[in-house]
Each structure stands twice: as structure tokens, then as C-alpha cells.
Structure 1
Amino acid sequence: MIKNYLKTSALAAAILFSGNVMAQDSTSSATYLKPFSSGNSFRTWSVGFNGGVLSPVVPFGKNDFTTWKADLGYGGYIKKQIIPAFGIQANFLAGKLKADNSEPLGNGTSLNSPFASYVTKLEYSGSLSGNLSLGNIYWMHRQNVIQPYLTAGAGIMSYTTKLTTTSGEQVDYKPGDNIRELFIPVGAGMKFVLSKGVNLDLGYTMNFVDADNVDGYPNIPQNDKFSFAHIGLEFALGPKSKPQLATYNPVAAMEADYISRNASLREELAAERANNAQRMAEINAEWKKFLNDADKDGVSDHFDKCPDTPAGIQVDGAGCPLQITVNNPVKVIVTEEDKRVVAEAIRNLEFDFGKASIRSTSFESLDRVAGILVNKNFSLQLAGHTDNVGNDASNMKLSKDRAESVKSYLVSKGANPSRISATGFGEGQPIASNKTESGRQQNRRVEFTLY
């Protein structure tokens, strides 16, 4: 049995090696899409066909016959790729399993069995399994993609078994209908991209049967097992312009996208630098005409309207001699009479309660203040104040409104509005106590400052 197993392993290794050579000689190239491309940008369906060595053993466990035989197996699958690293596939497998007792046990003794050999015809086996890609390996500048993968699933197999007794008689194990059993396929392999839509598939699958009936001799209390080492081709379905999702490498795509964006930005930067250099040359040429100043008066000839100004003469912005006019300022004098008129206006100034409207009893004295402003062109500062009755915001607004009301009255009498300022201070600057009515009366005021 060990000899046969070594022969099968050597055959499988030869298949893997030949497939590797085929892949290395291919000239296919990977196609990169932008990262996070939508699923309909890829080919996600594929079909595969394979053939290889079908044997009734796996590398571990015991068997009911001493010597197993390798035979041809064939199968196929349909796969739906969900993400680059994972897909779901429906598998089919058929072939024959053979073994006999032609070789003695390891201790040199013969197996005490009523049967000399068996042949199990695997009519079909159908399973559904998940395919986990361990990575997409890129060689030779992303030529020739290698995909190591693992598979596992569950399925149903249908088979018939014929036994040969030690006396040479052939008997059917469970004559009648085919035997059906559950089995668990677990495998590993590698795929090589031969072209944009074709992959070389090399793999090895161990199948664990949920029974001890496959060899027709339930002797050892252990379920039967069989394996399939295969080589095959996988064909991606869909438009040839789209890459396979199974061979798509997101990391490589992000790198390619980065390289492409970097190259594009470098080109844009180089073009921008060239444009800026050209623009700077134009600006420098334009600037030179502003540097000439023939009469040395500090004004460029480009703007100089008097280009022959004698040296030492002060010039204006147009380069012409500066005309200086000296005006004798008029001194403003506020007389005692003026102060008396203002003080009287302050004493007589009254507003309606809680309002900014001026009572008519205040008009006469305000008229005299307006006359001073008109005749002597004085400036006047008005400052409105209130007591602490009410909230701060309303008092601030009332003081401002009353000062503005006085200003409006004076302007209506001919005073220059640009020489009158009106400000409200609310209750913040009292001149008497707000605890008494007389004090609050004093705090409700508009102050006049003449200057």
C-alpha cells in the first residue's frame, strides 16, 4: 500500500510541476480596476473541468484492504465568486475506487479477510463547498497569477460495489439500487492564470464518507475515505473585457491606483510649474517698465505726468510738483454764556414716562442750543442715561433712543448732523442714588458736552 501511495504522490507531483511550467510560460497579464469598483465590473461565474488520480485512501487512517489501486477520476464544477477571497461552488465527481489484499500487512502476515479485492464505481458525487483563496501572488511584473486555495463542504455520493472473494467469486455488495451516502470533501490546491479568462487548476481533495460501506467490507470501525488529485481548466463566464473577481488583488489594485494617481499629479504639477514659469517671465518683463525714473523724483516714468521735474522738488503721486496750501485754523471758544444755555437745556429736558418722546416744555431751551450749534459750528456729544428701573437691555435701548431723539430735534432746527454724536449708557453711570425717587429722577438724563 505504501508503494502505491508513493507512486500516486509522485504522479500528483508531476502533474503539479507540469502545470507550474505551463503557468510560467504563459504571457497573460492581470487587469486592474480602481479600488472599490462595483461587483458588475467583474466576471463572477465560472465553470471548471478536471481529471486525475482517484484513490480509496487519504494520507492518514486505516483501510480494510492492504493494497489500493490508483484509477482515473473526472469531474467538474460551477462556481460563484462572492468576494476576491471567497466563492461557492457546486462540484461533480465520478470514477472508480479499487483495492485488494495482494500485499501482506506491515508485520509480514496476511490480512484475515474473506475478500481478495473490490471495485467501487462512483456513479456520481455532488457537493456544495466554499472556496477560500489564500492570496493572489503576482510574479514577473504581475504576469502569471498564482492562487493557493482551500475548499470544504458537504455532499451526496451514489455508488455500487463489487467484491471478489478469496475463492475468485464476484459478488455485489447490497445488490439492487445504488448506495447513497453523505460525505465531506476537504481540499487544497493552486490555480494559475493562463489567460484573462482561463485558469489552470491543480488540487488535491480528501473525501470523508459518513459510512464504512464504500469498499463493501465494514471490517474496521472507521468510516471510509477516498482522495482525488486533479488537474483541470477553469473558464470564466461573461464579457471578455471584464477581469475575474477571483484573480483580483485589492492590495495590488490600490498600489496601481496610487502609482497612476501619483504619476498624474506629477504631470499636472510639472505643467503648472511650466505655466507659472512662463507667467513669471511675463510679469518680470511687464515689471521692468515700472523701474525707470529719469528725473529721479521717486515716480516711475510709466506714471509720471511731469517727467522733467527738477531735482529736489517734492512731487505728488503723478510726479508733478506738490502744491502746499497752509490754512490758518479757526480756534473754537466755548463761552460762559454758551455753557449756561446748555446747562439750562439739560435742566429743562423732559421726556414722556418710559418713552423717548420730548415734552414740549423742553423745546424753547433746545432751540437756543440749536442756535449756538448753527451760528458757531460747534460739535455736541449727547449721552443718554436711565435709572435702574427695568432690565438692563431695555434701559440701554431707552437711553440710546432718548439721546437720538434730542439729536433729531436739533438737526430739525438746522444743526449739522455730522457734528452731533448720540450714545446711550443705560443705567451704568448713575449720578445719584437709585433708592430714592429724587435720585432716580436725576439719573434719568441726557448730558450735553459742547466742544
Structure 2
Amino acid sequence: MNYSTLKKSLALSLVAVTGVATLAVAQDAPATTSSTKVFGGRQQYRTWSIGVNGGVLAPIVAIGGSNDFNKWDVNLGYGLNIRKQLGHSFGLELNGVRGKVSGSNDAGLAGAGNNATREFETELQYAVDLRGVVNLGSIDFLRRENSVGFFVTAGAGYMAYSPKLTLANGTVIDNKGKYTGPVGDTHDAADYIKGFYIPVGAGVKFKVSERVNFNLGYTMSFIDADNFDGVYAKGTTKDKFSYGYAGLEFSLGSSAKPSLEWSNPLATMYDELKDPTLRQEVEALKGRVTAVEKSVEDLKKDTDGDGVADQFDKCPGTPAGTAVDGSGCPLPKMVADSTATSNVTGFEKISFDFNSSVLKTESYPTLDKLSSVLRENGGKVTVNGYASSEGTAAYNVKLSKDRANSVKTYLVNSGVNASQVATKGNGEANPIASNDTEEGRIQNRRVETARN
């Protein structure tokens, strides 16, 4: 194809592209995007698309490198593509391209005399590849809707081609239908050489409508062979070709869904946060929190001021200053002994398990009563710890001291001043029952309190 014919073909292609794009804009209705969610999955978008393209094939690439021919021709190529968008910024694309690639040499560059290679023409039966497509972003990414975006691609492919050489003396070498072995079929002669290639490209796309994109792209294909142009360079170089194209891409799927590749996650997140349903849920949650806070305040309410919340006060309306127990009922009056040191009347002994200084829950009511008396009436108390006769005397003194300290810790944590409570470990001294029986030893594992 000469340059004049190519220009006419490209002009007709652009006219067709413009006509189709205009028709698509006129007929396509905007997709509804308000229902999409940030983590709603791909099913809420259109993710499949197909495309057609046409452009220029050439035996060179933009990054340069060595070539077997120093002049290249402009030839028309055309192709198809199918893409699955996996995310707003990445997709997988199956591409196919056909056409021809050709070039020529100045006299004397490719050999000597009549055997010099003057020109080549390679029929590209097909070049099919699977590539990843990365959307780099849009020049208007700060806007809610993007309409211009850039992309890069890379992948791997398989191709079939047949080069034809013309020598300086006019001899044409065309081995189509004669290829065998590694370059053709394994057994029978083949029309085309087959092999692998690596496509790497970049481009820009324009959102014509909700259904149609107009793409401009450029792909460099690096062939895993040195016979694409029919000339072998003794394996020192690999051949390559490029494809610059323009094309239309059509999004498939329900018109009620937006296209994933043009989605704007920031805008979707903003819409989701502003969703009236979400705001109603937040307001309802605030109401539930307020109700919980009110319940907590009700739990803390103490109408008679006796230190016991109304929810647990079994004796409401207790006069101010009355000493009460844990249920809010008045404590019995203290009757003090006439001696300087005596037991606090009205309080039971605090019992402990074998070899333990941990308070039993059954002791809490007794300790709560003692705490109330000390907080209301002041004064000091001595907490005497005792142990049964098991173990050594020294160990039992320590154990009895630990038991006394457990009682003091409880009283202090309940609001009694630490200076009001003294502790003493008496060990095995002063048993109140025989240590010869388990029943007696249980009674001796105790704490007693005495008012100072």
C-alpha cells in the first residue's frame, strides 16, 4: 500500500469513527451511579468491553535499536480487542492484529552485487496476545466524572507471519507454504512461521459516551526471533515491529450500571457517606446511645443520698447521715466494749480457705457493714489474722498477715482511710477451736477486727 492510499484509508476510518461516536452519544443514556458502593463489588458495574482499531504497522519501535533495513514503510494494520475490567485501575485484555510490515535498504547495505537484499514485505497473518491494562489516571481526576484517561499495557503473545524478500537483481524469495521444523509445523510444510512476542504499549482514551470510548495508542512488539523481516543477523539481534492505532471501544452490559474503568472511588465514597439512608442509621444509632446513657444515669441515681443507687436501694428514704449496708438499709448500732481493745460488736469473723488469703464473696456483706461504720463514725480498727496449725509457724504468721492485709485492702478500696486500719498476723496463736479436727481448723483460719 502506498502512502497516498494509506492517507485515504485513514481519512475514511476517522470519518467512520466520528459518525459512530456521534450516533452513540445521541442514543446512549447516562448510567445511574448513585447506587454504587465503595465495597459493593464488581457486579454493580459494567466490566466487559469489545473494540475495533486501525492504524500503522512499521518494522521499528520508538525506543530505537538495530534494524536489518534502514528504511521503513507505512502499512495499514487493523485489530480487535476484548477486555475484562477487574478494578477501576486494572484490566485484562485479549488483542489481535493483522496487516503487513515492509521496509527497504539503500543500495549496497544488505549485501554485495545482485545478491544484495533490496526490500522485504512480511505478511502478518495474526498477532494475538493477552496483556494487562493499567489506568494511570485522568487529566481531570479531581472532577466527579472523568472523560480523558491514560493507560499502559504489557503482556505476552503468539504470532504467525511470512516474510518475502526482493534481491537487488529483482529476484523474489517467498517461502510461504514451505516452512518446516522449528519455524513452521513440526511435520508438514506450513504457510507461516510461528513464534512468541512481548507487547508493551501506552495510550490515551476519551470517554465519548457512557457506552463508547475513543482510543489512541502505540504498542511496541518484541519478537522472540530474528526472521520477521526474512534476514538473519546470526542471532545477534531480535526483530520488532510497532503498531500505532486509533479505535473505538464499546462497553457491554446493563445500561443501568456505570462502567468500572471510568468509576471514581473518591466520588463514590463521598456519595455513600452522604447517602440519606446511612445518615438515618447514624441518627438512629445516636438515639440508641442516648438511651443507654440515660439508663446509666438512672442506675447512678441516689435520691436519699445514702451512697446506694435507687436501683439497688431496698430501704429508700433513709434519713441523712444514717449508716447503711450494701442494700441501703440502716446498720445496727455499734455497742463498744469498755476495754481499750475489744472486738467490734455485730460483725462476724472473716473465714478463709486452706492456705489462702483470698476473700470469699460471702464475706463482702460483713466487710461492707464494717466499712460503713468506719466511714460514718470514724475511729480506728485493728485487723487480726490467724491460721490453723498446718505448716510451719513462720509460714503461718506470714499467711495470717496476708489475710489481714486482704481485709484492709477491701476496706480501703471501699472508701475507708488507710490510716484507720492496722493489721497484725498472729499465726497459730489464739485458736478458737481444736486444731486436731478439720472442723476446728476451718474455724481457726480467720480474721477478727478490734476497735481501738
* Residues 383, 450 of structure 2: 8 Å contact kept: no
Equivalent position of 2:41 in the other structure: 38
1:118-145 alpha-carbon deviations (Å, 9 max, x no partner)? 2211111111111111103339975661
TM-score, normalised to structure 1, is: 0.53
Output the CA distance in 2 between the equivalents of 1:143 and 1:385: 79
Equivalent position of 1:421 in the other structure: none
Equivalent position of 2:246 in the other structure: 231
2:264 to 233, 245, 249: 249
Output the CA distance in 2 between the equivalents of 1:214 and 1:68: 14
Deviates more, 1:195-204 or 1:168-177: 168-177
1:389 to 384, 389, 398: 384
TM-score, normalised to structure 2, is: 0.53
Equivalent position of 2:201 in the other structure: 187
Q: How large is the Cα RMSD of the aligned pairs?
A: 5.2
Equivalent position of 1:73 in the other structure: 77
* Residues 66, 111 of structure 1: 8 Å contact kept: no
Secondary structure in 2 matching 1:138: coil
Q: CA deviation at 1:212?
A: 1.1
Q: CA deviation at 1:30?
A: 7.7
Secondary structure in 2 matching 1:212: coil
1:131-187 alpha-carbon deviations (Å, 9 max, x no partner)? 111103339975661111111111111111222222323222472312112111111
Gaps of 5+ in 2: 180-189, 284-334, 349-375, 386-403, 411-415, 431-447
Equivalent position of 2:96 in the other structure: 92
1:238-284 alpha-carbon deviations (Å, 9 max, x no partner)? 211111111112234445667x569x98xxx9xxxxxxxxxxxxxxx
Q: CA deviation at 1:203?
A: 0.6
Output the CA distance in 2 between the equivalents of 1:254 and 1:211: 49
Output the CA distance in 1 between the equivalents of 2:418 and 2:222: 96
Count of residues in Structure 1 that have an aligned counterpart in Structure 2:
302
Gaps of 5+ in 1: 270-343, 358-380, 398-423, 438-442
Secondary structure in 2 matching 1:48: strand
* Residues 182, 209 of structure 1: 8 Å contact kept: yes
Equivalent position of 1:410 in the other structure: none
* Residues 385, 425 of structure 1: 8 Å contact kept: no
CA 1:248–1:167 in structure 2 vs 1: closer, same or farther (change >3 Å)? same
In the alignment, residue 228 of structure 1 is paired with which amino acid? Y
Alignment of 1:55-204 (within 5 A): 55-59=58-62, 60-101=64-105, 104=106, 111-112=110-111, 114-138=116-140, 145-173=147-175, 175-176=178-179, 177=190, 178-204=192-218
Largest Rg, 1 or 2: 1
2:53 to 50, 55, 61: 50
Output the CA distance in 2 between the equivalents of 1:215 and 1:444: 108
CA 1:202–1:396 in structure 2 vs 1: closer, same or farther (change >3 Å)? closer
Secondary structure in 1 matching 2:266: helix
* Residues 30, 142 of structure 1: 8 Å contact kept: no
CA 1:15–1:251 in structure 2 vs 1: closer, same or farther (change >3 Å)? farther
* Residues 157, 181 of structure 1: 8 Å contact kept: yes
Q: CA deviation at 1:396?
A: 11
CA 1:197–1:446 in structure 2 vs 1: closer, same or farther (change >3 Å)? same
* Residues 43, 243 of structure 1: 8 Å contact kept: yes
In the alignment, residue 255 of structure 2 is paired with which amino acid? K
Output the CA distance in 1 between the equivalents of 2:270 and 2:409: 67
Secondary structure in 1 matching 2:219: strand
Alignment of 1:349-364 (within 5 A): none
Output the CA distance in 2 between the equivalents of 1:254 and 1:352: 72
* Residues 386, 445 of structure 1: 8 Å contact kept: yes
* Residues 94, 122 of structure 1: 8 Å contact kept: yes
CA 1:218–1:254 in structure 2 vs 1: closer, same or farther (change >3 Å)? same
Alignment of 1:245-324 (within 5 A): 245-254=260-269, 260=274
* Residues 48, 82 of structure 2: 8 Å contact kept: yes
1:68-125 alpha-carbon deviations (Å, 9 max, x no partner)? 2222211112212222111111211111112233xx37xxx65536222222111111
